[in-house]
Every structure is written in C-alpha cells, then in structure tokens.
Amino acid sequence: MSATDNIKNYAVISGGYWAFTLTDGAIRMLVVLFFHQLGYSPLAIASLFLFYEFFGIVTNLVGGWLGARFGLNNTMHIGMVMQIVALLMLTVPTDYLTVAYVMLAQALSGIAKDLNKMSAKASIKLFALPSSDPHKTSPLFKWVAVLTGSKNTLKGIGFFLGGLLLAYFGFQGALCILASALSLALVLTWLLLPSELGKTASKVKFSQLFSNTAAINWLSAARFFLFGSRDVWFVVGLPVYLTASLGWRFEQIGAFFALWIIGYGLVQAATPNLLGKHHPSGQTTKWLAILLMLVPVAIAFALSQQLNLDGVIIVGLTVFAVLFALNSAVHSFLIVDWSDHDKVALNVGFYYMANAGGRLAGTILSGWLYQNYDLMGCLLASSAMIAVSALLAQKLPN
C-alpha cells in the first residue's frame, strides 16, 4: 500500500469517526438534559447509561477479535448501523420512553461507539510509517494524537449540537437529524475504504482476547481509573449541578461542555508538540496523573469556601482539561506503540475494554455520589481514582 493510499485511508477513517463522534456527543447531552427536564433523579439518569458503558466493556473485548478476524472496516460499519438504529429507537413518543427501553437503546449505542472507536484507533497502526529520524517525534504519535484530539473536539461540538437541537427541534426532531447525517457518512466510508482492512492472515483464537503482556495490562488498569475519575463527576454530577444549582440554561450547558471538549481535544492533538522531543513512556503518565490528582481537590476546596462558583467551575475545568488531555493522549499512543501489527486490534480492544469499565464505574458513581454528597463528593472521588491510576502507572516501563 503506497504512502498516498495510507493517507487517503487515514483521512476516510478519521472522517467516519468524526461523523460518528458528533452523534455520540449529541445523544449523550440530549438524554441527560431531556430526562432531567422530565423530572428524573440524578441516579435514574445515570442508570440510563448503565448498559451503554457495560456493553462497551464486552464490545471492546470481543470487537478486537472481530476486527482481526473479519476486518476493521466491517466492524466500523456495523457500529455505524447500530448507532443509527439506537438514534431512531428514541424517536418514539415520550410515553414509550421507559427506563428499560432507553437503557436498551443506549446499550446499542455503547456497542456502536466502541466498535467504531476500536476500529479507527487500531487502523492507524496499519497506515503510519516509522520515523526515519529517531530524534524526531514519531509519526505514529502524531497520527494517534490528531485522531484522538480531533475526535474529542468533535465530541465537544456534539455536546453543543445536542443542546442546540434539543432547544430548537425537540428531542425526536434532533434524533432524526443525527440519524440522517450518520447514514450519509456510512455510505461514503463504505464506498471509499478497502474491504480487507485490518484482517489478519491467520485465524485469531478466542483465547487470545486477553493480553499476556504485563505493560499492556498495567496500562489498561491505569486507564480504568483515569477515565473513571473523569466520568465520576462529568457525566451526571456536573450537568445537573450547572442547571439545578447555578441555573444554567440547556444551550449554556451544551455550549460549555462543547468548549471544554473542544479545548481538551485540541490539547490532545497538540500533545506531541507540547512534549517536544520527550518520547512518552509509562513514567510520563505517572507524573501527569499526580498533577491531575490535585485539580479536583482544589475545585472542591474552592467551592466549599463559597467563592465565585461559576468562575471556580470554569477555571478548574480548564486546568483539568489540559492535564487530562495530555495524560489521555500519552495513554492512547502507548497502547498502539506497544502492540505488534498482528495484535493491534486485540490489544486496543482489550485496552478500551478497561476504558469502558472505568467509564461505567464513574457513571454509576456520578449519579449516586451527587444524589448523596452533591458535587463535592464527586470531586473527591475523582481525585482518589486518579491517585490509584498514578500508583498503577508506577509499574509501567520507561
């Protein structure tokens, strides 16, 4: 495959991933705000995402095996189809939107999201050429950082889009618009990508799903607590706090989350430049986690002192975004860099299984902690989970 073909395929995969990510961010914001408007408690809203995160764990584990066996482009397209179905399922009249029904739709969305993410991230290893100069930043690091960062930027736009569409088109109308846009992306990527992308020459045994590499296992464990630390206050606690305690409107919350995720994504994409000639290692993640651990504690202390609440949230989240983005970008590079070409789909799937597990734990804790201990409890739990991630990163190699 020529360098031109590699760049073209990377661009097509990125475009498909971006389109999917827009719908993923939008549907998350739509569900949180719409069901809060209907009077659901924070814990009940969190439970709507229970299957979304749980099936993400299963999907990442099995998805890596499916990608290696049947091709990464096929797993990506299956994910797109399932997301379209999930969006359309929620367009039924409000009376039919029971907790169980919404959880089922979110389960499909969770499977779809992780099939799409695993396929896109694993594909990069197949396209990025090794650096001819060991003193320059690895092209793989740049490509992973750009894809990861741009994805989060688009997810931020999706948050804003979700709040905006809810305000102007209503819940059902917003979902129909999102499903139509993703259908177009599905057709385009189907036509432009090679059919055998990422498919291994030999059959992959199901027993190979679990990594037997110590570094990947420790990195996956650190990832579990890192992403749990974000979602424990970000998924339910923060949006509900902004509307219930600070009186923010839906459009304001959507715009704020959008700007946060966009900034977070830009920092991720710029991580290779920000780190300069420093080649990321396991110890890089440890020191970044230690710095990040201090931020939620500082926000909680400032809120307890009844300082300018809006200002504390905005400044605190900005600092959290920068440090979290750097840590996440290094994690995403290491899992791809440490994987062999023939095992990249399996290792990335296993790694993002841990990621989904952390999100599941963080999501449920977010609703329970906010309901019982307000945002303060969510923030302190976040710092505790980051501390565990830093301890686990101590086991990673340089």
What is the tens place of the pLDDT at every residue in 68-118? Answer: 677 777 888 888 999 999 999 999 988 888 888 888 898 898 888 888 877
Residue 376: how many other CB atoms lie within 10 Å? 19
pLDDT tens figures, 129-143: 555 555 555 677 777
Phi, psi for 128 (deg, rounded to 5)? -75, 125
Give the pLDDT of residue 84. Answer: 95
Statement: the pTM of the whole predicted model exceeds 0.75? no
Q: What is the pLDDT of residue 126?
A: 65
Q: What does the mean pLDDT of the chain come to?
A: 81
In a domain, 28, yes or no: yes
Q: What CA–CA distance (Å, rounded) separates 193 from 198?
A: 11
Q: Any idea what the CATH number is for the domain that residue 254 is in?
A: 1.20.1250.20
Q: Residue 215: pLDDT band by 50, 70, 90 thresholds?
A: confident
Q: Which residue has the higher pLDDT, 381 or 60?
A: 381
| Dihedral angle computed from the Cα positions of residues 19, 20, 21 and 27, in that order, rounded to the nearest 10 degrees | 110
> Which pLDDT does position 138 carry in this prediction?
64
What pLDDT does 344 receive?
66
The CA distances from residue 135 to 167, 261, 279, 339, 397, in Å, are 51, 31, 9, 21, 20
Give percent of the chain above pLDDT 70.
86
Tally of domains in the chain: 1
2 backbone φψ class: left, alpha, beta (φ>0; ψ -120 to 50): beta
The secondary element (H helix, E strand) that includes residue 271 is helix 250-275
Query: Which domain, by its residues, includes 371?
Result: 3-199+206-393
Polymer length of the chain: 398
- In the chain, pLDDT over 90 holds for what percent of residues? 19
d(CA 331, CA 271): 11
Q: Is 162 exposed, middle or buried (0-12, 13-18, 19+ CB in 10 A)?
A: buried
CA neighbor of 392 nearest in space, from 215, 164, 209, 154: 215
Residues 145, 94: Cα–Cα separation, whole Å: 40
Question: Distance between CA atoms of 319 and 107, rounded to whole angstroms?
Answer: 32
Q: Which region holds residue 280: left if phi is over 0, alpha if psi is between -120 and 50, else beta?
A: beta
pLDDT band for 274, please (50, 70, 90 cuts).
confident
Q: Domain for residue 398, yes or no?
A: no
Contact 75, 63 (CB under 8 A): yes
